[in-house]
Amino acid sequence: MTNGHPPSTFSGEKLVCIRGERVVFTQLGFSVATGEALLLLGPNGSGKSSLLRLMAGLLKAASGHLSWNGVPVLEDREEHAGRIHYVGHHDAIKPVLSVRENLRFWARLHDPEAGDATAAHALERLGLTHLAEVPGKMLSAGQKRRLNLARLLAAPAPLWLLDEPSVALDRASVKVLEGIIAQHRAAGGMVILSTHADVDLPGAGELHLDHFAAPAGSMAGVWA
């Protein structure tokens, strides 16, 4: 047992993803355990975002299954939602709420008891303290990304699903991201992350989505 999240394994087996009529990937499998990180790699359109959305329960697999400690996650969607933080391409920032209010809102969605001290720490870690009272709509792209990433620290969740989290970040902020991921893993968390850029995740596994592509032109119904 670590001093944070209890030992767990998140895995997927024989996953098939269809978007529109196209088979994006087929027979895809992975496994991530406590303290581990998995990098999703592959060219544009190979299915990295789709796989992350599927892992987050936002998209349904055409077949195959996802398990947490061997139990299919679809058996209890609410429990699964409670164990993840998903940060996708679209920012979830409410434009009229301040940076601090946005963070408080997210923290309480995850944990109604979440205290202000945790949110303050998250703001400080992401270099947002001086912007705490600024409305979301006035942030730059990189500041919005940092606020979305601050959600990771505002309430605990063992599994972080991050879709190209380094986009719009300056080099110093990428270093901060690498640091909070390392700390999360040291506390028994897991991270699954897609990227086209250099994000240093020591010892991370790699999943190359193009290895699971269906033959060109495969249509739903043939491979699913």
Ligand X SMILES: Nc1ncnc2c1ncn2[C@@H]1O[C@H](COP(=O)(O)OP(=O)(O)OP(=O)(O)O)[C@@H](O)[C@H]1O
Q: How far is the CB of 20 from ligand X (least distance, A)?
A: 4
Closer of 77 and 196 to ligand X (Cβ): 196
Q: Is 102 in the site for ligand X (CB under 6 A)?
A: no
Report residue 55 as tokens: 């892992």
Closer of 46 and 148 to ligand X (Cβ): 46
| Residue from the set 26, 37, 48, 66 that interacts with ligand X by CB under 6 A | 48
Closer of 134 and 224 to ligand X (Cβ): 224
Closer of 53 and 100 to ligand X (Cβ): 53
| Residue from the set 4, 11, 13, 22 that interacts with ligand X by CB under 6 A | 22
Which range binds ligand X by CB under 6 A, 48-56, 109-117, 145-153, 185-193? 48-56
Q: Residues 129-167, buried b or exposed e (16+ Cβ, 10 A)?
A: eebbeebbeebeeebbbbbbbbbbbbbbbbbbbbbbbbe
| Residue from the set 4, 8, 39, 45 that interacts with ligand X by CB under 6 A | 45
Burial of 39 (0-12, 13-18, 19+ CB in 10 A): middle
Residues in Cβ contact with 186 at an 8 Å cutoff, skipping those fewer than 6 apart: 2, 4, 35
φ, ψ of residue 138 in degrees (nearest 5) = -95, 10
Q: Is 24 in the site for ligand X (CB under 6 A)?
A: yes
Taking CA 191 as the corner, what is the angle to CA 3 and CA 75, rounded to the nearest 5 degrees?
90
Q: Is 54 in the site for ligand X (CB under 6 A)?
A: no
Q: Is 165 in the site for ligand X (CB under 6 A)?
A: no
Q: How far is the CB of 194 from ligand X (least distance, A)?
A: 6
**Binding residues for ligand X, per CB under 6 A?**
19-20, 22, 24, 42, 44-50
